[in-house]
Structure 1
Amino acid sequence: MKDLVIVFPGQGSQFAGMGKQWFDGNRVVRDRFGQASDLVGYSLADLCFTAPPAEVTRTRFAQVSLLVLSYAMYEVMTEDRKIPVSAMTGHSLGEITALLAAGALTFEDAVRLVKARGEAMESCVAESGTGMVAAVRMPVADVEKCVEEFNSGGHDVQVANYNAEAQTVLSGTLDDLKGLTAHLEDRGAKVVKLNVAGAFHSSFMADAVPAYTEALHEVEFTEPTVPVYSNVTGEAHESPQSIRESLAVQLTSPVRWSAIVASLVERKAAVWVEVGPKQVLKKMLTGAVGSGEVHSFDEEPERVRAVLDQLVELKKREPGLVGLCLGAAAATRNRNFDTAAYDQGVVLPYRKLQELSKLDQETLSDEQKQTALDLLLTIMRTKQVPEAEQRDRVESILRRTGDAGLRTIAGALAT
């Protein structure tokens, strides 16, 4: 089974007229636009389709419209199929879209949160004299060295986005960025000025944090149904509390996109689908994911649907969670030669797993799946399987079946 990753774009993917074909052709998109418009107090359709281009690029408007359009496109993509997603993530703002798609918060809360986020960020950078540039064609370590050299002269430029090995985004005052540009170009880098309102993902955004944090505390986060990877850590969120804490510092922390990609590639992610306007992330991912295939739902919807249908069919041929538990139970080496303990902790649980395997695997409840995982854990503990191997086997099963929401397994492993 090929692991599927869904990615959502951040600010910078917006453009005047974005989403018009999705809005015209899909009721779910029109409904989400209407629902969000009621929440934010202005017409998203008018903003995206008829307003002057400068309006949709404003931070407070761009972020809401990107969230709503990207999520509505995801609903279109999945409305007639249950796709076997292994992980989700997004670039900056897109992480919130990923959390929404993974069920970690409601649509209403997501829209309100992003409205507060965009407004706080726009207010923070108003007349701040700050901006961002992208340094390309130079390794990250060399860029960091150049920044350190430049800052030693009393300047303050900060890494904002680790996008790829040869694409690093920097934040600072416009004067400092101008000086650093010359410093980088003298050393062989190509520097591109970004059309953004200010120095995002740096300490220059500190004044936006209080209002955004207040909005975060009004949101009830729940466990995502699939792992969602954090821009701050580069790894999957561990709990609803970690989501809140990570998002709170995201505004002033660099986006560790390349770390996210590396983590997922290491976990054998094979198919990547960008869901949102344009294909900014597709271009960034192509070449960075090894032999993995990368698609944009906006640019190639029929191709994406065909790929997803293929994954759905492959999923049907795979053993379910109980079958994988049975396989793991049989495959692990036994280090316990106490016959009575083996009968009680291996033989009996294995028989119970066999009974669960006789049920309709498509209709198993989360409680029954959790029981299967608990039985597997009992077997592995009795066999004295090392804890790291226990965790790897369980995480592999959850990843393959898309049941990553069964996170009580972490607590079980700790006892």
Structure 2
Amino acid sequence: MKDLVIVFPGQGSQFAGMGRKWFDEHESVRERFAQASDIVGYSLADLCFTAPPAEVTRTRYAQVSLLVLSYSMYEVMTAGRKVPVSYLTGHSLGEITALLAAGALTFEDAVRLVKVRGEAMEGCAADSGTGMIAAVRMPVADVEKCVEDFNAAGHDVQVANYNGELQTVLSGTLDDLKGITAHLEDRGGRAVKLNVAGAFHSTFMAGALPEYTKALSEVTIAEPAVPVYSNVTGEAYESAEAIREALAVQLTSPVRWSDIVAALVDRKAAVWIEVGPKQVLKKMLTGAVGSGEVYSLDEEPDRVGAVLDHLVELKKREPGVVGLCLGAAAATRNRNFDADEYHNGVVVSYRKLQELSKLDQESLSDQQKQAAVELLLTIMRTKRVPEPEQRDRIESILRRTGEVGLRTIAGALAT
């Protein structure tokens, strides 16, 4: 089974008129726009489709509209399909969309949270004399060395986004950015000024934290049903509390996008789909994911639909949770030669797995799937399989089947 990654864009993907075809063609999108409009107190449809471009690009408006449009596109894409999503992530703001898609946030809470986030960041950036540039055509390590050398003279330029080996975004005052641009160009690099309102993902955003952390404390965050990768650590979240903490830290810390991509490439992620307006992330991912396939839902919806249908068919041919648990139970080496323990822990549990395998696998409940995983754990523990091997086998089964919502079982092994 090919692992599927869904990625959501952040600020910078917005444009006047974005999402019009999705809004016109899908009732579910219109309903989400109306629901969000009631929450934020203005018409998102008017903002996206008729407002001047300068309004759409304002931080307070761009972030909310991107969240709502991207998520409603995700709902359209998955409607009527049991899409086997292995991982979710997003760039900056897009991480919140990923958490919403993973069930860690409700739609209402996500909209309220992003409304506060956008307003707080815009307010913090107002009249700050700060901005961002993208350093391109220069390796990350060389950019970091340039920043270090430049800052040694009393300046304060900070890395904001690690987007790729040859694209690093920097934040700072406009004067310092002008200076670091000359510094980079003298050393063979190139700098591109970004059309943003302030020095995002740097300590220049500290003023936005009090309001945003208050909003974070007021929303309910659940453990994601699908692994979501953090911009702060470059790794998958392990708990709901870790999400709350990292979302706050994200405002003043660099986005470690290249770390996320590298981690998912290491996990053999094979198909990447950007869900949101334009194809900013597709361009960043192409060439960075090896032989992985990269698609943009907005730019090629029919192609994406065909890819998803193919993945759904592949998943149907794959053995399910119970079948993989049976295989793992038989494949693990036994280190317990107590006959009674082996009979009670291995033989009896294996027979129960066999009984589960006789049921219609398409209609198994989550409780039955969880029971299969617990039976496998009982078998492996009785066989005295080392805990790292237990974790690896369980995680492999959950990834292969797309049943990562059961990952708490594997997590319990660490306690």
TM-score bin, normalised by smaller chain: over 0.9
**Structure 1 stretch 95-104 or stretch 356-365: which is displaced more?**
356-365
Per the alignment, residue 126 of structure 2 pairs with 126
Report the Cα distance in structure 2 between the residues aligned to 1:202 and 1:245, rounded to whole angstroms: 16
Find out whether 1:414 has 2:405 as its counterpart.
no
TM-score (norm 1): 0.98
Per the alignment, residue 378 of structure 2 pairs with 378
Report the Cα distance in structure 1 between the residues aligned to 2:93 and 2:351, rounded to whole angstroms: 48
TM-score (norm 2): 0.98
Find out whether 1:202 has 2:214 as its counterpart.
no
Report the Cα distance in structure 2 between the residues aligned to 1:351 and 1:397, rounded to whole angstroms: 19
Aligned positions of 1:100-179 closer than 5 A: 100-179=100-179
Per the alignment, residue 261 of structure 1 pairs with 261
CA deviation vs aligned residue, 1:43-71 (integer Å, no higher than 9, x gap) = 11111111111000000000000000000
Q: Determine helix, strand or coil for the equivalent of 1:342.
A: helix
Q: Determine helix, strand or coil for the equivalent of 2:406.
A: coil
Q: Determine helix, strand or coil for the equivalent of 1:407.
A: helix
Report the Cα distance in structure 2 between the residues aligned to 1:298 and 1:97, rounded to whole angstroms: 16
Deviation at 1:414, TM superposition (A): 3.0
**Structure 1 stretch 358-367 or stretch 302-311: which is displaced more?**
358-367
**Structure 1 stretch 291-300 or stretch 392-401: which is displaced more?**
392-401
Per the alignment, residue 4 of structure 1 pairs with 4
**Structure 1 stretch 373-382 or stretch 48-57: which is displaced more?**
373-382
Deviation at 1:363, TM superposition (A): 1.8
Per the alignment, residue 32 of structure 1 pairs with 32
Per the alignment, residue 369 of structure 1 pairs with 369
Q: Give the conservation status (yes or no) of the 8 Å contact 2:4–2:269.
A: yes
Q: Determine helix, strand or coil for the equivalent of 1:270.
A: strand
Per the alignment, residue 278 of structure 2 pairs with 278
Q: Give the conservation status (yes or no) of the 8 Å contact 2:395–2:407.
A: no
Deviation at 1:359, TM superposition (A): 1.4
Report the Cα distance in structure 2 between the residues aligned to 1:411 and 1:113, rounded to whole angstroms: 28
The unaligned stretches of length 5 or more in structure 2 are: none
Per the alignment, residue 319 of structure 2 pairs with 319
Per the alignment, residue 356 of structure 2 pairs with 356
CA RMSD of aligned residues (A): 1.0
Code of the aligned partner of 1:312: V
Code of the aligned partner of 2:271: V
Report the Cα distance in structure 1 between the residues aligned to 2:349 and 2:312, rounded to whole angstroms: 31
Per the alignment, residue 337 of structure 2 pairs with 337
Deviation at 1:411, TM superposition (A): 4.8
Q: Determine helix, strand or coil for the equivalent of 1:291.
A: coil
Per the alignment, residue 43 of structure 1 pairs with 43
Per the alignment, residue 231 of structure 2 pairs with 231
Code of the aligned partner of 2:184: L
Code of the aligned partner of 2:356: L
Deviation at 1:381, TM superposition (A): 1.5
**Structure 1 stretch 335-344 or stretch 179-188: which is displaced more?**
335-344
Q: Determine helix, strand or coil for the equivalent of 1:17.
A: coil
Q: Give the conservation status (yes or no) of the 8 Å contact 2:395–2:410.
A: no
CA deviation vs aligned residue, 1:334-379 (integer Å, no higher than 9, x gap) = 2223333222221111111111111121222222111111111111
Identity %: 83
Q: Give the conservation status (yes or no) of the 8 Å contact 2:92–2:255.
A: yes
Deviation at 1:403, TM superposition (A): 1.4
Report the Cα distance in structure 2 between the residues aligned to 1:411 and 1:166, rounded to whole angstroms: 36
Find out whether 1:296 has 2:296 as its counterpart.
yes
Code of the aligned partner of 1:365: S
Deviation at 1:259, TM superposition (A): 0.7
Deviation at 1:104, TM superposition (A): 0.9
Per the alignment, residue 94 of structure 1 pairs with 94
Per the alignment, residue 221 of structure 1 pairs with 221
**Structure 1 stretch 14-23 or stretch 331-340: which is displaced more?**
331-340
